[in-house]
């Protein structure tokens, strides 16, 4: 999902993809997009269609019965950006602009009077039939009575406190349990933005409306409220509480300030991204225990690929990635199916480079994506929720995006010049050191790593490496793997901390016990 898309567009894309998946063919059509955009009667696309005098039910019925061309989402977003620049001097992709792009791509609703030209005319003239385009629509405008303002202010005050408290709990979890600087920073940013949003409201009415003494909810006991068994459970409970509080804050905040409500809506969607980054981690599984990862291309192996995999696994390799850049699809699929058999026999995980479709067809454990490949969300739709998805990263912002996108592990580098792949620049050990201090998501240093320099990677803070030519070209891959594992095994295994504390993520490199005993909140 591009960073310049609105939350509404993200929801619509997911809805369209779900519709296509339900049909069984997986191909998202323009009709899928239109039905997704028109799913909410109060959303901007539905309001635009209604402003044209067309019944939404008639449109939905027509779309359900019609065939339509396959949608190319990237093209729709590009058209939407161009339309946004023309109409608003803003390239942000919003739902109304995507509606315009879909209708521009195919006149599927022209017989009902819903055309790109008609919608663009509405957007260009800011028709009085429509509410302000930047807000959610309401049927009528109502000036709240003083009593209603006090009631709304009381709810806003309570939920602002609940949300802020939940964010503090999550801050402590990310900081002291996971020891994860990146996620801690995300939580702190959310808390800062919430405080800033609430600070934009007049403080007087909120404090005046506070009435804890007469709060009927303080005496109500809820089963399970005082039952917590692990820090992970505490985090899950507070994520849910945070999202519920923000939803209530958004709805009642509309009575006080529509700008405030829109800002809270953005914070609520950001918490869903945070939730994915936290809850998608699977401590204790084979990937989190893995330290040695082999990147193999058949033509670069000194002996057969099958033998190299077996010997490397015998020496301690735990993950094998098939990286074949020059093969046609049929040959690549046949090779991948062979590697799937060989890795099963060796008892190691199998990942396909770049190609989620090939990974799905050969039943690989996952896929590894470069910065120019499919996004994590798109690969997840192809492979399913349990697949391993890794992402190559070359700077801190790419690390942040991969973590928030829900990647299962990171490739970090290139660390040293590689004999198997050319690179224009080398982030090197400084980047390894930065990532080690930034995130506890499993991160494998890669690029030119061998037995002679692996100690430098460990000293920089990462105890996972991905190795290519050092294994592929070796006469004795088992001995090389054994040597590399010995260097990595001199330090505690990456999963130790997470296993002890029941964490959602890998806290292994730096256990949080010592910090929890000494540091303040």
Active site residue 323: yes
| pLDDT on residue 390 | 97
DSSP string, 346-402: HT-EEEEES-HHHHHHTT-SEEEE-TTS--HHHHHHHH-TTSEEEEEESSHHHHHHH
| pLDDT on residue 38 | 85
Q: Which of 245, 248, 392, 495 is catalytic?
A: 392
**DSSP structural state of residue 29:** B
Give every CB contact of residue 436 below 8 A, 6+ residues apart in sequence. 443, 460, 461, 462, 509
Q: Which of 175, 323, 340, 485 is catalytic?
A: 323
| pLDDT on residue 4 | 66
| pLDDT on residue 215 | 73
| pLDDT on residue 423 | 64
Predicted structure pTM score: 0.65
Using N-to-C axis directions, what is the helix angle for 258-279 and 181-199, rounded to 10°?
A: 170
| pLDDT on residue 136 | 38
How many residues does this entry show for the chain?
521
- Please name every residue paired with 392 in a beta bridge, in sequence order, or none if there are none: 411
Active site residue 392: yes
- Residue pair 88/120 in contact (Cβ under 8 Å)? The answer is no
Sign of the Cα torsion 140, 146, 148, 149 reads positive
Helix, coil or strand: residue 97? helix
| pLDDT on residue 500 | 34
| pLDDT on residue 114 | 85
CATH class for the domain made up of 146-279: mainly alpha
- Please name every residue paired with 411 in a beta bridge, in sequence order, or none if there are none: 392, 444
Phi, psi at 221, each rounded to 5°: -95, 135
- Residue pair 228/234 in contact (Cβ under 8 Å)? The answer is yes
Q: Which CATH superfamily is domain 286-494 in?
A: Aldolase class I (3.20.20.70)
Active site residue 191: no
| pLDDT on residue 501 | 36
Q: Which fold has domain 7-125?
A: Double Clp-N motif (1.10.1780)
For residue 484, the Cα-to-chain-centroid distance in whole angstroms is 32
Q: Which of 88, 189, 421, 500 is catalytic?
A: 421
Question: For the stretch 73-95, what's the b/e string if a residue is b when 16 or more beta carbons lie within 10 angstroms of its beta carbon?
Answer: beebbebbbebbeebeeeeebbb
Mean pLDDT in each 10-residue stretch from start to end of the chain (521 residues)? 71 82 76 84 83 82 77 82 74 85 83 83 59 40 69 92 96 94 95 93 80 70 75 93 96 91 93 88 84 96 97 98 94 98 97 96 97 91 92 95 94 86 78 96 96 96 96 96 93 44 38 32 34
- Rounded to an integer, what distance in angstroms lies between the CA atom of residue 246 and that of residue 252? 10
| pLDDT on residue 55 | 84
- Rounded to an integer, what distance in angstroms lies between the CA atom of residue 373 and that of residue 371? 6
The radius of gyration of the chain from alpha carbons, rounded to an integer in Å, stands at: 26
Sign of the Cα torsion 344, 345, 349, 354 reads negative
Domains of the chain, residue spans: 7-125, 146-279, 286-494
- Residue pair 60/78 in contact (Cβ under 8 Å)? The answer is no
Paired tokens of 171: 């801050």
């Amino acid at each position: 999902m591009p960073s310049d898309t609105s939350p509404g567009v993200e929801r619509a894309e997911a809805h369209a993809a779900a519709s296509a998946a339900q049909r069984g063919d997986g191909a998202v059509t323009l009709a899928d997009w239109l039905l997704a955009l028109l799913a909410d009667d109060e959303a901007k696309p539905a309001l635009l269609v209604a402003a044209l005098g067309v019944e939404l039910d008639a449109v939905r019925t027509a779309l359900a019965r019609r065939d339509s061309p396959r949608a190319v989402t990237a093209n729709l977003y590009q058209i939407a950006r161009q339309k946004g620049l023309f109409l608003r001097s803003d390239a942000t992709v919003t739902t109304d602009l995507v509606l315009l792009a879909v209708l521009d791509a195919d006149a599927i609703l022209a017989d009902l009077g819903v055309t790109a030209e008609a919608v663009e005319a509405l957007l260009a003239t800011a028709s009085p039939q429509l509410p302000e385009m930047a807000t959610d629509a309401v049927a009528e405008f109502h000036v709240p009575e003083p009593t209603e303002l006090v009631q709304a202010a009381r709810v806003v005050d309570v939920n602002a406190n609940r949300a802020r408290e939940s964010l503090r709990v999550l801050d402590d979890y990310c900081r002291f349990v996971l020891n994860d600087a990146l996620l801690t920073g995300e939580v702190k940013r959310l808390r800062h933005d919430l405080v800033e949003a609430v600070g934009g409201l007049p403080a007087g009415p909120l404090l005046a409306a506070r009435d804890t003494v007469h709060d009927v909810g303080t005496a109500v006991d809820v089963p399970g409220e005082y039952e917590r068994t692990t820090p992970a459970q505490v985090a899950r409970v507070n994520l849910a509480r945070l999202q519920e509080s923000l939803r209530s804050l958004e709805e009642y905040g509309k009575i006080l300030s529509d700008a405030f409500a829109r800002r809270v809506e953005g914070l609520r969607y950001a918490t869903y991204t945070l939730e994915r980054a936290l809850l998608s981690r699977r401590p204790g599984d084979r990937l989190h225990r893995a330290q040695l990862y082999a990147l193999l291309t058949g033509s670069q192996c000194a002996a057969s690929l099958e033998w190299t995999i077996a010997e490397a696994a015998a020496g301690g390799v735990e993950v094998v990635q098939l990286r074949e850049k020059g093969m046609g699809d049929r040959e690549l699929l046949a090779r991948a199916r062979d590697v799937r058999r060989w890795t099963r026999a060796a008892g190691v995980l199998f990942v396909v480079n770049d190609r989620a479709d090939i990974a799905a067809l050969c039943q690989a454990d996952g896929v590894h994506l470069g910065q120019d490949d499919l996004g994590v969300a798109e690969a997840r739709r192809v492979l399913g929720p349990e697949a391993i998805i890794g992402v190559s990263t070359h700077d801190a912002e790419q690390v942040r995006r991969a973590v928030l996108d829900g990647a299962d592990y990171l490739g970090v580098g290139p660390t040293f010049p590689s004999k198997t792949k050319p690179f224009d620049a080398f982030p090197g050990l400084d980047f390894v050191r930065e990532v080690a201090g930034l995130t506890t998501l499993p991160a494998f240093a890669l690029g030119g790593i061998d037995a002679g320099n692996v100690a430098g990677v460990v000293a920089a803070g990462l105890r996972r490496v991905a190795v290519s030519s050092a294994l592929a070209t070796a006469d004795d891959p088992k001995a090389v793997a054994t040597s590399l594992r010995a260097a990595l095994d001199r330090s505690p295994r990456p999963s130790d901390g997470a296993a002890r504390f029941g964490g959602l993520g890998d806290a292994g490199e730096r256990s949080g016990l010592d910090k929890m005993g000494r540091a303040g909140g």
